[in-house]
Structure formats: C-alpha cells, structure tokens
Amino acid sequence: MSNQSAGLLLFRRRDGRLEVLLVHPGGPFYAHKDAGVWSVPKGEHDPAEDPLAAAQREFTEETGFRATGPFFPLTPLKQKSGKLVQAFACEGDADPQQLRSNTFSLEWPPHSGNLKEFPEVDQAAWFPLAKAMEKIHPGQVGFLEELARLLGEAGGEREGDG
C-alpha cells in the first residue's frame, strides 16, 4: 500500500465567486455520510511515479473528466494516517451529471460471500468555497485555504482560524 496520494483540485468562477469540484466516495460505508467525507479527486501512487501524472490519471479514473492545466502545486498535506497527499490546482469546468467513475469490488454484505461492484466516486459537485470547507475531509481543508490565498479570495479561512 502506498503512503502517497495525488489529486487535482479543479476550480472555476461563477457569478464572481470561486467554486471547487469535490467528489463523494462511493460504496456502502459512505452512503449516508456527507459533511467531512467529500474529497479532491485523488488516489495512491507509487513513489517513483510523477505526482502530477498520478493526479491527472486519478482525476480521470474517478470522474471521467480530463483536466488540461496549467496546473500549480499546492503544499502537500500529511493525513492522520501518515499518508502524504499532494494536490495540484487548475482552472476548468466539468458537468457533474456526466460523472463516470471506475469501480471496485467488495464483499457486501460483510461475510456473505457475495462480491458487489461499487463506483469509487458516486457523486461530483461544485461548491462555493465556504460550503466546500464544510463538505471536504478535514485533512484536505488546507488545500482549499491555500487555493483561496493564492487566488486572493475571501472566505479562505474557517471560522476560528486566524
């Protein structure tokens, strides 16, 4: 198992406000969860693989979309698990209704002996920055904060942050 992941944070401007594309994990464990489970489209990669190439591959595998860049790196974030996540931001657009995710197999229900296919990502959505801060996994909030700072956006800090 790799200790590194890479992903793409796609952003756009709508009606003068910054929006980011986040994805909701598929499968039965996240079916009824919302706040704090959405993510930058990302995935594990071998340490020898170029993180940007891995981020582009994972973005396409999880969403069916292609991002063309230009890309700019965000500061990598270490997760509680010890995994290091590298994200790259780029401006673009995509229609969440056109989501096409790869799938994975899981024995479900547990101990049933039945393998079931689930999408790796079951939803994608555009969120204004403040709403994205509520939706995204807490270990990835730093990506949104950094993007907001780099783009000179207000609302890039969570309440209570200074």
Q: What is the pLDDT of residues 73-96, one digit of tens each?
A: 999 999 999 999 999 999 999 999
Query: Across the strands, what pairs with 24?
Result: 123
Tell me if 102 is assigned to some domain: yes
The range of the structural domain enclosing residue 95 comes to 4-151
Tell me if 160 is assigned to some domain: no
Which CATH number belongs to the domain containing residue 98 in this structure?
A: 3.90.79.10
What's the number of CA atoms in the CB half-sphere (13 Å) around residue 56? 13
Tell me if 162 is assigned to some domain: no
pLDDT value at residue 1: 57
Tell me if 105 is assigned to some domain: yes
What is the chain's mean pLDDT, rounded?
A: 93
Tell me if 137 is assigned to some domain: yes
Core vs surface per residue 82-116: b (16+ CB within 10 A) or e: eebbbbbbbeeebeeeebebeeeebeeeeeeeeee
Domain count, the chain: 1
Tell me if 24 is assigned to some domain: yes
* pTM given for the model: 0.91
| Parallel/antiparallel/unpaired status of strands 17-25 and 42-44 | unpaired
CA–CA distance, 37 with 131 (Å, rounded to integer): 13
pLDDT value at residue 153: 81
Tally of CB atoms within 10 A around 151: 14
Report residue 151: phi and psi, to 5°: -95, 0
Q: What is the pLDDT of residues 31-50, one digit of tens each?
A: 999 999 999 999 999 999 99
Tell me if 116 is assigned to some domain: yes
Tell me if 157 is assigned to some domain: no
